[in-house]
Amino acid sequence: MILDFAQAQKEIKETGLSDLIIKLDHVAYRVKKGKREKAMAELANLVPYQEFKTFKVISMNAITSSIKLHDTLPVIVVSEGLTEDSVVEKYVKKYGGRIHHLAYLVNDIDKVVEIQRRRGVKFTTDYTIGSEEEGIKQIFTLPTEAANHIIEYIQRFGDFDGFFTPSNIGSLMKSTEKLGEA
């Protein structure tokens, strides 16, 4: 794995990643059970965010909301567990309520994942979650060593404007399950 910033920049340019990764898409928080609306209100008190979409993720005992500033990116996504055994609640118990990941919009997720795997980047799954037919494909990296950040790569298709689908959000959350284990 890359240890030197200058070396990383050079390698990213050589691999073409700088042409494939477009911009910051969303910032996702995981917060303690019962704190999602408070976290959203805190953010809205600082910046005029409006609620965009909320999903109850029954398979993961969690609820996720996205809030937007006008029609711009990045969007803020806030998830909370609904039970003590939720993947979100386990994560928060281990790390505290905080930013869980930064998501970057890409124009060819399969190519990005292929390049990053060759560079030694590890992911939470061996495959991207979602499909072109669903309108979205996503994948999480494992946390970085120095700052413990997770990066998500996300690609949308057609006119899909969401940040997950009811059918893929459970798989996304489940892919991070091992991160919350003691």
Taken in order of first residue, the domains within the chain and their CATH numbers are 20-180 (3.10.180.10)
Let me know: does 99 contact 28? Beta carbons within 8 Å. yes
Q: How many helices (H) and strands (E) does the chain have?
A: 6, 8
What tens digit of pLDDT does each residue of 171-180 get? 888 888 887 7
| C-alpha–C-alpha distance, residues 129 and 78, integer Å | 20
Higher confidence at residue 147 or residue 18?
Answer: 18
User: Which amino acid is present at 61?
Assistant: N
What tens digit of pLDDT does each residue of 97-139 get? 999 999 999 999 999 999 999 999 999 999 999 999 999 999 9
For residue 181, is pLDDT > 70? no
User: What is the pLDDT at residue 177?
Assistant: 80
CB neighbour list of residue 30: distance below 8 Å, 6 or more residues apart: 79, 80, 88, 91, 92, 95, 97, 98, 100
Residue 143 tokens read as 């946390």
